[in-house]
């Protein structure tokens, strides 16, 4: 690994932040300028959303079931087993549903975007697009950003519902809790603040996943090895940023809504 002076490292870091910010801003601005490449957005939505559905279904169901299973032992000690529905509902909707879905989609799609765009870059396909008068940012980045934000929103809703369903199965089959009581308590505990927080996060996560994946793909250097590095970096960076954004958004919204 080549050694880099602290000054050069700082300059590269500032340059990377600047380039990423410019890409993110342009990806949003391109939505309001023709042409809009609707067919590309639909194709990416199918690739990202429908393609990620199996892993989202599996993780949502298992996380909800495990949350109910692990919390049941503690609740039994205090004679509060009937609160499983409330615990699973709040945990899935506010935190676990958005963050688990975001991480799963990041692992699957951020790497795919980085490898696809990186391969196009090193094979000079992007230069050919520029030569033909097509804006690569508008053609390649904006459809992926729009599709990821849109589909992650609905994937998170599916994950939340399946998490609640997984908790219901554990509660009724293993702990003989009434099915209607579980769903009644799970529904009643939710307030506007919980739902708003749970649905705002996937919008931000989707934007982070798509822009990070596209950024690393478009900045890949060093041939096929560079594409491999960009793919790994995209997954790591998007996962870390999802965790950071989740923490900041949770703290901000808890302050705004004055959670007790």
State the pLDDT at residue 2: 58
Roughly how many angstroms between the first and final C-alpha of the chain, as a whole number? 49
Q: What is the DSSP string of 43-107?
A: HHHIIIIIHHHHHHHHHHHHHHHHHHHHHHHHHHHTT-GGGHHHHHHHIIIIIIHHHHHHHHHII
Q: What is the mean pLDDT of the chain?
A: 88
State the pLDDT at residue 157: 94
Phi-psi region of 177 (alpha: psi -120 to 50; beta: other; left: phi over 0): beta
Confidence of residue 178 (pLDDT cuts 50, 70, 90): confident
Domain membership flag for residue 24:
no
Helix axes 51-77, 97-105, angle to 10 degrees: 150
**Domain coverage including residue 207:** 37-256
- H or E stretch covering 125: helix 125-131
State the pLDDT at residue 3: 63
Domain membership flag for residue 18:
no
Residue 159 has pLDDT above 90, yes or no: yes
Domain membership flag for residue 27:
no
36-95, pLDDT tens digit by residue? 888 999 999 999 988 899 999 999 999 999 988 888 877 777 777 778 888 889 989 998
State the pLDDT at residue 259: 58
Higher-pLDDT residue of 150 and 33 is 150
Q: What is the DSSP string of 186-228?
A: HHHT--HHHHHHHHHHHHHHHHHHHHHHHHHHHT--SHHHHHH
Domain membership flag for residue 1:
no
Q: Number of structural domains, the chain?
A: 1
Cβ atoms of 9 and 115 within 8 Å: the answer is no
Please give the average per-residue pLDDT across 158-176, as a whole number.
90
State the pLDDT at residue 82: 78
State the pLDDT at residue 190: 87
Domain membership flag for residue 17:
no
Gap between the Cα atoms of 252 and 27, Å rounded: 25
Confidence of residue 248 (pLDDT cuts 50, 70, 90): very high
Domain membership flag for residue 6:
no
Confidence of residue 32 (pLDDT cuts 50, 70, 90): confident
Q: Which two tokens stand for residue 23?
A: 């890409």
Gap between the Cα atoms of 107 and 236, Å rounded: 8
State the pLDDT at residue 86: 87
199-242, pLDDT tens digit by residue? 999 999 999 999 999 999 988 887 778 888 889 999 999 999 99
State the pLDDT at residue 56: 92
Domain membership flag for residue 239:
yes
Q: Which residues of 91-110 are buried (b: 16+ CB within 10 A; e: fewer)?
A: bbbbbbbbbbbbbbbbbbbb
CA distances from 248 to 94, 113, 225, 251, 258 (A): 14, 26, 34, 5, 15
Domain membership flag for residue 3:
no
Place of tokens 């705002």: 200
Give the global pTM.
0.90
State the pLDDT at residue 241: 94
Confidence of residue 11 (pLDDT cuts 50, 70, 90): confident
Please give the average per-residue pLDDT across 237-248, as a whole number.
94
Residue 244's CB: how many other CB atoms inside 10 A?
Answer: 11
State the pLDDT at residue 154: 94
Q: Which two tokens stand for residue 125?
A: 């396909």
Q: Which two tokens stand for residue 101?
A: 């879905």
State the pLDDT at residue 4: 64
CA distances from 95 to 5, 56, 207, 231 (A): 40, 15, 18, 27
109-120, pLDDT tens digit by residue? 998 899 989 888
Percent of the chain with pLDDT over 90: 38
Looking at the chain, the number of H-run helices and the number of E-run strands are 12, 0
């Amino acid at each position: 690994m080549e050694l880099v002076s602290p000054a050069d490292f700082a300059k590269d870091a500032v340059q990377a932040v600047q380039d990423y910010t410019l890409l993110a801003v342009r990806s949003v601005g391109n939505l309001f300028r023709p042409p809009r490449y609707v067919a590309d957005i639909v194709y990416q939505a199918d690739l990202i959303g429908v393609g990620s559905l199996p892993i989202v279904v599996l993780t949502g169901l298992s996380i909800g079931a495990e949350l109910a299973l692990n919390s049941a032992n503690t609740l039994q000690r205090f004679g509060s087993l009937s609160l499983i529905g409330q615990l699973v509902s709040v945990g899935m909707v506010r935190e676990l549903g958005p963050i688990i879905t975001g991480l799963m989609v990041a692992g699957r799609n951020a790497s795919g975007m980085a490898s696809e765009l990186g391969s196009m870059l090193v094979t000079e396909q992007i230069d050919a697009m520029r030569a033909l008068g097509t804006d690569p940012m508008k053609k390649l980045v904006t459809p992926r950003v729009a599709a990821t934000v849109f589909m992650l929103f609905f994937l998170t809703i599916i994950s939340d519902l399946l998490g609640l369903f997984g908790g219901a199965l554990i509660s009724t089959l293993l702990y003989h809790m009434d099915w209607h009581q579980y769903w009644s308590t799970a529904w009643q505990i939710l307030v506007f603040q919980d739902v708003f927080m749970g649905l705002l996060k996937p919008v931000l996560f989707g934007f982070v996943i798509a822009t990070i994946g596209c950024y690393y793909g478009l900045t890949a250097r060093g041939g096929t090895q560079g594409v491999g590095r960009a793919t790994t970096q995209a997954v790591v960076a998007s996962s870390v940023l999802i965790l950071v954004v989740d923490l900041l958004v949770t703290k901000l919204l808890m302050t705004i809504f004055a959670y007790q």
